[in-house]
Structure 1
Amino acid sequence: MSTDTMTTGSAVSRPAPAGRGAPRRRRATVHPAARGIWPFVVPAAVVTALLVLLPMAYTVWLSVTDRQSDGTNGGFLGFDNYARMFADPEFYNALQVTLVLFVVCLAVETLLGLALGYVMSLDVPGRNIFQGMMLIPAITASVAVGLLWLLIMDPSLGAANELLGLVGIDPVVWLGDPAVAPWSIALVDIWQWTPFMALIISAGIRSLPEEPFEAAAIDGASGWRTAWNIGLPLLRPVLTVAMLLRTVDLVRFFDTIYIMTQGGPVNATNTLNVYGYNEAFINQEPSYAATLQISLLVLVVLIAGAFTLLRRRAAR
């Protein structure tokens, strides 16, 4: 028996000497399923680069140069266009209009969508038909919606003023009054996209667990107290996702506004997106328009990032 064994009463493990008998470090292996995704990832990455990254890079390049409408370039300007933007009063007006429409439309669509989503979640006869009819505005092209409401809000022949006249209210200049036009645009967006919010919320309500509500009913909690203390906290992740989806569309609001007002009257509905379009194709200043679009991109990223952070906190 060896000395080590006699001393300790058991065999002492010694590190194996380096050489042929030493254990080798295992190499990282790639799962066969991971290798199979590359034929799908590479085309998607190429398409993303062509359709997203290259246009973004071109827009950034436009914003720091003096691009002319005839295709010539006056040279590198650096941050002159950005300095012009921050000194432009119309930029701040467009930013204000964008944020006001965003806040008003998102708040009203969320509240109405919550109420309508609860109704759509009820198991009543004809629910599927009702849901299909409610989604018609959301699946209709925004250009068609803008043309439809342009006729409805016509000051002389429109149905809106006809209905007001039936109850003794004077006709309203829906799209020609700077004080009324932004709210008219908000009304159209709320009419079109509230059913979309309601559909998402109704699906979230139907997926909620029943046990907390049953326990609240046993404890004698009222319906409003149960909805406020149990229903809304459980529904918070769904609400956050629905609001995030609408946020991205609302901040870059363009098509309906351009069809109905082109940013008027007196720039009352001139959002950042509409202002950038007018600068590029009406005033023939593509470089300044690119600067405005970059500011819009930054705004979208900031607001979407805030909602994403809220969604992660709500999911904890």
Structure 2
Amino acid sequence: MSSLQPPTWVFLENFKTLLFEDPRFWPAFFRTFYFTGLALICQTVLGVSIAVLFNRKFKGNQLIKTLFLLPMVSTPVAIGLVWLLIFEPSIGFANQFLGFFGIHSQLWISSPVQALPAIALVDTWQWTPMITLITLAGLSTLPQEHYEAAAVDGANSWQMFWHITFPLVLPTIFAAVLLRAIDAIKQFDLIYAMTQGGPGFSSETLNIYGFVNGFQYFKLGYTSAILVIFFMIIIGFSSIIIILRKKTEVTL
């Protein structure tokens, strides 16, 4: 778009350059999976744990559930801007909170090492309620006969969870993980609002790299090659999770 010359047919040249010559592609590729894996692990563990807790009856259950779901319905860009203030190294709440426990101030998104984990933390705060909500739906459909039989046999709460609840709700967890994996691997607005891929290129994922090439460098053919590969990655990643889910269902 920025060239006065008409576009030329280059066949697979963009893919060749991208895979074998571009120094920014493979780091962005691995950052994408690092961010996705980190966010998914945190969200799955927290989401399932909170779902099991919320599945019990206690006073104020419905109110707490409603408040817990609020981050999920918030705008990602607005969330990013709010967390920018929280992560501010000098006056941000995050460092003030750490100071209460005698922990030194952190640079958070200003650090090349901490930027991507900090964004994954924000993503976890926003989307853990989604996994909790889906897991809760699965827990509500579990038959009670298994628990009654286990209680008669003298099983404790942990044994009931590990041998009854977890295996039965596992297909539901896989469904929740699949939805979050697809969304996390193509995360854009939160990362762009908080760091725009910085500092340097330390939080630049494939989505951010594609955006930079397309709308800052105006290399639309090259961007298309990035997004084709990105689309294939999403299909492959989703297929693996679907296969694992089907194997789990067959085993159960």
Short-chain TM bin? over 0.9
1:4-62 deviation per Cα after TM superposition (whole angstroms, max 9, x unaligned): xxxxxxxxxxxxxxxxxxxxxxxxxxxxxxxxxxxxxxxxxxxxxxxxxxxxxxxxxxx
User: Which whole-Å CA distance do the structure 1 matches of 2:207 and 2:140 have between them?
Assistant: 37
Larger Rg belongs to: 1
1:189 equivalent in structure 2:
123
Offset at residue 172 of structure 1 (A): 1.1
Letter paired with 2:9: F
Pick from 90, 95, 102 the counterpart of residue 36 of structure 2.
102
> Would the alpha carbon gap of residues 258 and 220 (structure 1) be closer, same or farther in structure 2, given more than 3 Å must change?
same
Confirm or deny that 1:119 pairs with 2:53: yes
Confirm or deny that 1:203 pairs with 2:122: no
Offset at residue 287 of structure 1 (A): 1.1
2:18 equivalent in structure 1:
85
Larger deviation: 160-169 or 212-221?
A: 160-169
For CA contacts below 8 A with separation 6 or more, give which structure has more relative contact order: 2
Letter paired with 1:154: E
1:122-147 deviation per Cα after TM superposition (whole angstroms, max 9, x unaligned): 12222111111001111101011101
Confirm or deny that 1:283 pairs with 2:222: no
> Would the alpha carbon gap of residues 89 and 113 (structure 1) be closer, same or farther in structure 2, given more than 3 Å must change?
same
2:102 equivalent in structure 1:
168
User: Which whole-Å CA distance do the structure 1 matches of 2:4 and 2:108 have between them?
Assistant: 40
1:199-230 deviation per Cα after TM superposition (whole angstroms, max 9, x unaligned): 11112111111111111111122222221121
Can you give the 5+ residue segments of structure 2 that lack an aligned partner in the other structure?
Answer: none
8 Å CA contact retained: 1:121, 1:203: no
Offset at residue 71 of structure 1 (A): 8.2
8 Å CA contact retained: 2:38, 2:117: no
1:89-141 deviation per Cα after TM superposition (whole angstroms, max 9, x unaligned): 21110011000111111011001001100111112222111111001111101
Offset at residue 198 of structure 1 (A): 0.8
Pick from 57, 76, 84 the counterpart of residue 142 of structure 1.
76
Give the count of matched residue pairs: 249
Offset at residue 70 of structure 1 (A): 5.3
Letter paired with 2:85: L
2:160 equivalent in structure 1:
226
Offset at residue 314 of structure 1 (A): 2.9
Confirm or deny that 1:75 pairs with 2:12: no
1:268 equivalent in structure 2:
202
User: Which whole-Å CA distance do the structure 2 matches of 1:158 and 1:259 have between them?
Assistant: 17
Q: TM-score, normalised by structure 1?
A: 0.76
8 Å CA contact retained: 1:94, 1:270: yes
User: Which whole-Å CA distance do the structure 2 matches of 1:311 and 1:165 have between them?
Assistant: 43
1:151 equivalent in structure 2:
85
- Percent identity, aligned pairs only, is 35
Structure 1 segments of 4+ aligned residues over 4 angstroms from their partners? none
